[in-house]
Structure 1
Amino acid sequence: MIKEQALLESRTLRENVRGRTETLDKVKALTLLPDGLHVTTALVATYFVVHRSTIKNLVARHRQELTESGLTVLQGADLQKFVGLKMSPTDESYPQGNRRHLTLYTRRTVLNIAMLLRDSPVAREVRAYLLDAVEGNGTPASDLEPRVAALEGLMADIGPALRDLGMVLHRSDQRVVHSLRRVDNRLEKTEWIVAGMSARLAELAGDPVIANRLRRRRRGRP
């Protein structure tokens, strides 16, 4: 039986089980960024109900291990590209415009943090579910690791594709609306011309009453 203390102290053990990201959802929902793959430091802190500085200090102490589990720091052109293509900033947890760098975490990184964060009740609960899963009869965690990595890679491609599809559909909708407006304008102009011709024909036929009615209708009067 694996003890919680062993999980906290053994990096090798943590590496063997960090593919079990489903244990995060057993405790509470993890809010992801709009790309469906990453979270920020603020969102990680919210999940574990700790201050951001606690997460930052933990990252500073275990940066190499967390980098191996998916931690990424974006800056410069990479940061601008990420924010521009994948984000829809709506609150303070999302990347904002004047950042110099942005630290991103995957679900595996968050689970790795749960195995390092000693004083968070949420992290302790995640560890409890994780140990239960490891001791059960499910798929070995070492087999889950490459599967989770492959799935995250696919999600990284799907997110931008969906965003691009939404932009294409929006442009198509705008073109359809514009075309319908043009058709309406042409119909109105055609009706106006037909009404004028009808009035003229009525005059030629010697029926001034009908001609007058047609002219009034052409001008929008009853």
Structure 2
Amino acid sequence: MPPEGALLESHTLRVEHLGRVDALDKIKALVMLPDGIHVRTEDVARYFEVSTDAVRQLTARHRAELVENGMRVLRGADLRLYHSDMVSLWGAEAAKSYPQAATQLTLYTRRAVLNIAMLLRDSDIARCVRTYLLDAEDELRTGYTNLDRRVTDVEACLGGVGVALQELGPVLSRMSYRLDSLDRRLDATNQVVGAISNRLCQMSEDINRVDARVDDVVHQLRDLRRSRKRR
């Protein structure tokens, strides 16, 4: 992990971390204006526990970079419109204490404030924000390393499974052949059972016919005996 001071010197490194605006509230609560989007120079100075002059001097040295990340200066009609919007957001009573800039107002987004945290040297709060950013990056990198290691372990396990499946291939083939043989023998057995069943049905019909003939003979014998008795 690079030292937190590296962010002071490297514009490229600062750009890589500008999306982590959550780092601000991790170190200290940043109180926004009623619009929920901006803070003033005074608010930035209060957050970093430095003077407003320190913030203005830093802004003057890095104006182009800060403008890219949301800082803007309101004047004239834009300033009057912004004051009007703020008064409506604050409400009638609170608006009486709302401070209105006379000629211009510098506003900062969270992204711009984070940018200042990576540029401000003489602030313990800014130093803590920079350290938090780099620690979080190091934890993320460690997490990726652990994830890569787990993926490698899984791939190794899957490779072992592949070898086992290859070894099981011939065994499964033989089992499949034996099952096919059993299926054929079962079909033949079913055919034999079917033939026996048909034969038994025929024998049942023959027995029924014999029974009928026996009944006829018995009836004839009875009739014959009766006729003899009458004589």
Provide the TM-score with structure 2 as the length reference.
0.56
Question: 1:95 deviation in Å?
Answer: 4.1
Question: Which one has the largest radius of gyration?
Answer: 2
Provide the TM-score with structure 1 as the length reference.
0.58
Cα–Cα, structure 1 residues 121 and 43, in superposed 2: closer, same or farther, change >3 Å?
Answer: same
CA contact (8 A) 1:114 1:126 kept: yes
Question: 1:5 deviation in Å?
Answer: 2.1
Paired letter, 2:15: E
Within a 5 Å distance, the mapping from 1:155-170 to structure 2 comes to none
Runs of 4+ in 1 over 3 A off after TM superposition: 89-95
Q: Distance in 2 between matches of 1:63 and 1:107?
A: 16
Q: Distance in 1 between matches of 2:17 and 2:74?
A: 27
How big is the alpha-carbon RMSD for the aligned residues of Structure 1 and Structure 2?
2.1
Q: For residue 74 of structure 2, give the secondary structure of its aligned residue in structure 1.
A: strand
Determine if the alignment matches structure 1 residue 52 to structure 2 residue 52: yes
Q: Give percent identity, aligned residues only.
A: 55
Unaligned runs of 5+ in 2: 142-231
Q: In the alignment, what sits opposite 1:84?
A: 84
Determine if the alignment matches structure 1 residue 109 to structure 2 residue 112: yes
Paired letter, 1:9: E
Q: Distance in 2 between matches of 1:50 and 1:92?
A: 27
Q: In the alignment, what sits opposite 2:32?
A: 32
Structure 1 residue corresponding to 2:137, chosen from 130, 134, 139: 134
Cα–Cα, structure 1 residues 116 and 92, in superposed 2: closer, same or farther, change >3 Å?
Answer: farther
Unaligned runs of 5+ in 1: 139-222
Aligned residue pair count: 137
Q: Distance in 2 between matches of 1:95 and 1:21?
A: 26
CA contact (8 A) 1:39 1:104 kept: yes
Cα–Cα, structure 1 residues 94 and 125, in superposed 2: closer, same or farther, change >3 Å?
Answer: farther
